[in-house]
Amino acid sequence: MKIDLNISLLFFFLCYYRMKKALVIGAGIGGIAASIRLARKGYTVKVFEASNYPGGKLSEFKMGDFRFDRGPSLFTLPNYVEELFELCNEKMSDYFTYSELPILCNYYYPDGFHFAAKGNKEENIMAIVQAFNEDEKKVRAFFSKAEFIYKTTAPLFLEQPLKLSKLYKTKSFWKGVARIPQLPLLGSYTVQLKKYFKNPKTIQYFQRYATYNGSSPYKTPALMQLLPHVEQGIGAFIPNKGMYDITLQLFDLAKRQGVKFIFNSKVEEIIIEEKSATGIRFNVDQFETANIVVSNMDVFPTYKKLLPNEREPKVILNQEKSSSALIFYWGLKDYVNKSLSIHNIFFSSDYSNEFRNIFEDDRLAKDLTVYVHITSKHIPSDAPVNGENWFVMVNAPNNKGQNWDEVVKSARKDIIEKLENMLGEKFEDKICNEHIWTPSGIEADTSSHLGALYGNASNSSSAAFFRHANNSSKIKNLYFVGGSVHPGGGVPLAILSARTMSEFIA
């Protein structure tokens, strides 16, 4: 009888274990990471994706013999990717490899000045001192402070749930509280830079880091001094098969954990019963039930479209949105300039005017800072012999109904003219393939509200605290991941959001 009872109990628990079902809306990098963590917690996981491919912005496409990573182009904080493999008792290097960048980026200034930022922190410090004639002690003090800010705030805010009742129980919280007097809590990032550097070129070089989260260097808080440490102190890398390989390897990892991906399936509604998420409605009239629902969709349309009858967090949803981008993907049939590297920046002559146009006037300036990313410099197969694949991007306002056809026409002319003048070489006639992604296109293709690349902008000292948490405080069993929620936008933080989400699940 005792044996029969034990067998019955075992059968009951096995059945209960198998009944744990989780649904993830969206196969962006945050959704894939979430599916892996849920599977490891014992859930049967299904991921519903409206498009026919995984990755969202972190995807790829091909034009003729050219391959392009569609969105993010810089790989940082690889430990968050490795953590997912380790969680599944696998070795990341067996599937995914990357290389450290010896040259972080080539910077070109309007007056002809050129600076090649080194991947090695010590080498770059000396390069900054020599190239910009800066005081070495102040340059070192800047990076030391950047590291201090990161090590104080990352464990406290980035890697912890945005919930005070959980934060105050951690050692990092009280350690962070003790260090508050040493943090630069007042003033903008640009004001902070001027405390260390005297050369306007140095300041512009560091100002660019504010664009890593879609913000203005003139408005984002001084705490953003931590961003250079991520790239310089921890490292900047490039996947050996392109950025999309991050998506592909995590996608395959998820499938090895039993996760099922259902593509071409548009979720129409999250089903709420008695203040609890119980499933989804998709493809108009199909239903799927679950114990847990996770939205990797931008938090704004999640509430507006999938939760139309629920009370929305208006303060968070109405926050200023980050910048977007206007991207030209050019396949060039011949090399242009041998001095170009994988990452290249061509600065505008009036940086403040450029960001004023983006965040105040909702338009592009005439003189733009242009980013040129060429993966074929590292992955020759991304372009035909002698050819190059140019990802050409300018920061742009988010989509407010501008006439993007007119904007594209004008910007394309200005960008080509600028690059040809600064490179001292004509190349327009070498463009044999072209694709364009506008803020309106980004919004339509990825459901990012207004085409904002990073959700809410970080243009105020309180912006980090106005991101939506990774769980719902009003609806049981409803969770959120991705760049529009805590801890923020970008590949590493989207992956990290899945870890935080999983910590909310008992």
Distance of alpha carbon 101 from alpha carbon 237, whole angstroms: 5
- Percent share of the chain, pLDDT over 70: 92
Q: Comparing C-alpha atoms, which of 278, 319, 292 is closest to residue 484?
A: 319
pLDDT at 402 over 70: yes
Distance of alpha carbon 18 from alpha carbon 38, whole angstroms: 13
| pTM of the full structure | 0.92
Q: What's the pLDDT score for residue 8?
A: 57
Cα–Cα distances in angstroms (integers) from residue 429 to residues 137, 154, 330, 392, 408, in the given order: 48, 47, 11, 16, 18
Q: Are 292 and 46 in contact (CB under 8 A)?
A: no
pLDDT at 16 over 50: no
pLDDT digits (tens, 9 = 90+) for 356-397: 999 999 999 999 999 999 999 999 999 999 999 999 999 999
pLDDT digits (tens, 9 = 90+) for 105-152: 999 999 999 999 999 999 999 999 999 999 999 999 999 999 999 988
Q: Are 90 and 253 in contact (CB under 8 A)?
A: yes
Reported as type and span, the H/E element at residue 409 is: helix 404-423
Burial class (CB in 10 A: 0-12, 13-18, 19+), 239: buried
Q: What backbone phi and psi angles, to 5 degrees, belong to 105?
A: -165, 145
Q: Are 18 and 44 in contact (CB under 8 A)?
A: yes
Mean pLDDT of 258-262: 98
Work out the number of other CB atoms within 10 angstroms of the CB of residue 248: 20
Classify 47 in phi/psi space as left (phi over 0), alpha (psi -120 to 50) or beta.
beta
pLDDT digits (tens, 9 = 90+) for 189-217: 999 999 999 999 999 999 999 999 899 99
Q: Are 249 and 96 in contact (CB under 8 A)?
A: yes
Higher pLDDT, 490 or 164: 490
